[in-house]
Structure 1
Amino acid sequence: MAIFERSRLTVPALPSYNSIRQSVTITGNEQRKGLGLAALSAIAFAAMALLVRILADSGFTPLQIMAWRGGVQAVCSLGACAALKVNPFKVHMGWEKFKWVAVRAVFGVIGHLLYYTALAKLSMGVATVLFFTNPIFTAILAHWMLDETFTKDQRWLMLIALFGIGLVVVPLSPLTLLGIGISKWSICALLGAVSVALAYVSIRIAGPRVHPLVHVVYFSLVAGVGSALLAWIQGESWHMPNNTAAEWTAVLGIGICAFLAQYLMGAGLLLANAGPVVTMRNSNIVMSFILDAVIYHTRPSASSAIGAIIITVCLFKMVQLL
């Protein structure tokens, strides 16, 4: 135990990050604004998830979906930068900040690709439950790296909310997760959760002087170029949208929704602590469930309805604790 504590004290980077964190006082009003932006981000993510499902049914691979998303999102984010006169290629405070912008982009893309890989091999419910453990990893990393508050009550509420998520995405059988063997695809989903958590915390480390659009631009570039390159290396046959308005709308819409979701998420993380913001963002699971019921006429089970209520109550209580 002493060895572990001594090794933590010898890490040179952590004190500077903690001092940056302590120099910025976040008010309760800012916290609530941040959570509101995270809620809007959740709506955009739910719409994006619906479009991903539509494109997957049309024959697009995960890498190709990510590449299309990155390309369209890059156009949107660069256009927004031009309109707001934000230079995404000049990050204030030099390399110390830019390296965390790069970390956010790379690990964000890796996390989602790992999630897509798990989705291709596991049932959607299992892969989603494993991937959406990322609020726990986010809160832990933010507490360790930024000294953010992570109280006992918040920990319990997060765990209960995750149980509610399990009820929603794995109706009637959340406890069956305990009987699943730890396959490499399950590990992919969990590693994706950790990767995305690090990406979220990186936004906080980069700080408020890095405009949220800068994060979106670099994520988009890495997603578009990196995913297209990986698809080419793997020898995938590139799938182009059919000459129909619906498919082109889905391709363009996924990038637009992703742009809005990431911009709002980044802005929210600058106003509120990472753990509660990411938990609020995960309410998109409930929204996706509602969209699935309305569009695909999937009748909700009793356990799914209970899970939605649990998540809503936990989010409300977390706001009260701020």
Structure 2
Amino acid sequence: MPILSPGVGLMLAAAVCFSTGTLFIKLAGMGLPPMEILFTRSLIGFFYCFFLLRGTGHSIFGTKRLYLALRGLLGFGALFCMFSAFILLPLADATVIFFAHPIFVAILAAFLLKETLGTRGVFCIGAALAGVVLVARPSFIFHDASPLDPAAVGIALCAAVLSAGAIVTVRFLSRHEHPLTIIAYPTMAVLVLGPLLDSTSWSMPTPTEFLYLLAMGILMNMGQHLMTMAYQRERAAVIAAIGYVEIPLAALFGALVFGDMPDIWTYAGAALVVGGTLFLGQVRKAGA
């Protein structure tokens, strides 16, 4: 009898892919701009989705194209901010802040989809947001702590908010479109808009940087595909919980490769973010 269910095993593999991919994002970002890194990830992702969709009877362009375009734009913004945050912040801190996105999903769903939160839901949101504050350590609150760069923290928060918006659109699109079609649209948005918005700072990668880009693109897209399959085989609450494995992996990579040792504020903030979002999922499931 297997120790892990297929869904849990797939999500663990996805978490390893994502965490290792973010390591290569940061390594590539030491010499290349975020948009160039994101463009490479998206180029690999587009062909990844295109070839997997062949023979399925589904078009990569889908049918609900207005909503797909909105999902693509939100995903593009979220990915660009996320890549920038991974480059600008320690991996563990950037990962913790980004993993607050379920909180923003709940807030957006309450306003846009009229989903109720209840008192316990509001408390969970407050706890998770307090965790983000502990990680960011703004100087006007933590006078003696070493604060993170406020601009970089803002970029990481933008990634979480835009990701939440993209997830809300996915909830609608998942009833009408193939998962790979939904995944493909952010890659198409990047391929079209990326060079238009920022290509002047791009440079020819060195052989080492090229390997970083190739590894990053393959790992991030494999992680996305594995996560999609995991959600098809296991309850969403279980898969979301397994995804938090990325936080200790990010801390480990940051410490081993860059010497970024998380401090007590990061640990405490991570506990509040993880606890708040996990309990929020249980509260919403119970309809409280």
**Partner residue, 1:146:** 113
Give the alignment partner of residue 89 of structure 1, picking from 26, 47, 60.
60
Larger deviation: 117-126 or 258-267? 117-126
Give the alignment partner of residue 251 of structure 2, picking from 264, 289, 304.
289
Q: Which runs of 5+ in 2 are unaligned?
A: none
The alpha-carbon deviation at position 140 of structure 1 amounts to 1.4
State how many pairs are aligned. 276
Does the Cα contact within 8 Å between 1:203 and 1:269 map onto a contact in 2? no
Does the Cα contact within 8 Å between 2:42 and 2:187 map onto a contact in 1? yes
State the distance in 2 between where 1:153 and 1:210 align. Answer: 34
State the distance in 2 between where 1:305 and 1:220 align. Answer: 33
State the distance in 1 between where 2:223 and 2:58 align. Answer: 20
Instruction: Write the mapping of 1:1-322 to structure 2, written as runs, cut at 5 A.
Output: 41-57=14-30, 59-82=31-54, 85=56, 87-89=58-60, 91=62, 94=63, 97-116=64-83, 133-148=100-115, 150-164=117-131, 167=134, 169-170=135-136, 174=137, 176=139, 178=141, 188-232=155-199, 235-242=200-207, 244=208, 247-265=209-227, 281=243, 284-311=246-273, 313-314=275-276, 317=279, 321=283, 322=285
The alpha-carbon deviation at position 107 of structure 1 amounts to 1.0
| Alignment TM-score, normalising by the size of structure 1 | 0.66
State the distance in 1 between where 2:244 and 2:39 align. Answer: 23
Structure 1 residues 297 and 150: alpha-carbon distance in aligned structure 2, compared to 1, 3 A threshold: same
Structure 1 residues 177 and 228: alpha-carbon distance in aligned structure 2, compared to 1, 3 A threshold: farther
Tell me how large the CA RMSD over aligned residues is. Answer: 4.2
| Alignment TM-score, normalising by the size of structure 2 | 0.72
AA of the residue aligned to 2:250:
S
AA of the residue aligned to 1:238:
S
The alpha-carbon deviation at position 109 of structure 1 amounts to 0.7
The alpha-carbon deviation at position 311 of structure 1 amounts to 5.0
Does the Cα contact within 8 Å between 1:148 and 1:273 map onto a contact in 2? no
Structure 1 residues 266 and 208: alpha-carbon distance in aligned structure 2, compared to 1, 3 A threshold: farther
State the distance in 1 between where 2:27 and 2:269 align. Answer: 25
Structure 1 residues 99 and 141: alpha-carbon distance in aligned structure 2, compared to 1, 3 A threshold: same
Give the SS at the match of 2:32.
Answer: coil
Q: Deviation per CA, 1:245-289: give whole Å up to 9, x if none.
A: xx4332112112221333355567789999997786465333311
State the distance in 1 between where 2:103 and 2:278 align. Answer: 18
Structure 1 residues 40 and 137: alpha-carbon distance in aligned structure 2, compared to 1, 3 A threshold: farther
State the distance in 2 between where 1:177 and 1:38 align. Answer: 39
Does the Cα contact within 8 Å between 1:142 and 1:275 map onto a contact in 2? no
When Rg is computed on C-alpha atoms for both structures, the one with the higher figure is: 1
The alpha-carbon deviation at position 303 of structure 1 amounts to 4.0
State the distance in 2 between where 1:85 and 1:118 align. Answer: 36
Percentage of matched positions with identical amino acids: 24
State the distance in 2 between where 1:63 and 1:270 align. Answer: 31
State the distance in 1 between where 2:98 and 2:196 align. Answer: 24
Give the SS at the match of 2:29.
Answer: helix
State the distance in 2 between where 1:151 and 1:54 align. Answer: 43
Q: Deviation per CA, 1:168-218: give whole Å up to 9, x if none.
A: x55xxx3547478x9777655544433221111110011333121111222
Does the Cα contact within 8 Å between 1:139 and 1:150 map onto a contact in 2? yes
State the distance in 1 between where 2:231 and 2:120 align. Answer: 21
AA of the residue aligned to 1:220:
T
AA of the residue aligned to 1:262:
Q
Q: Which runs of 5+ in 1 are unaligned?
A: 1-31
Does the Cα contact within 8 Å between 2:8 and 2:239 map onto a contact in 1? yes
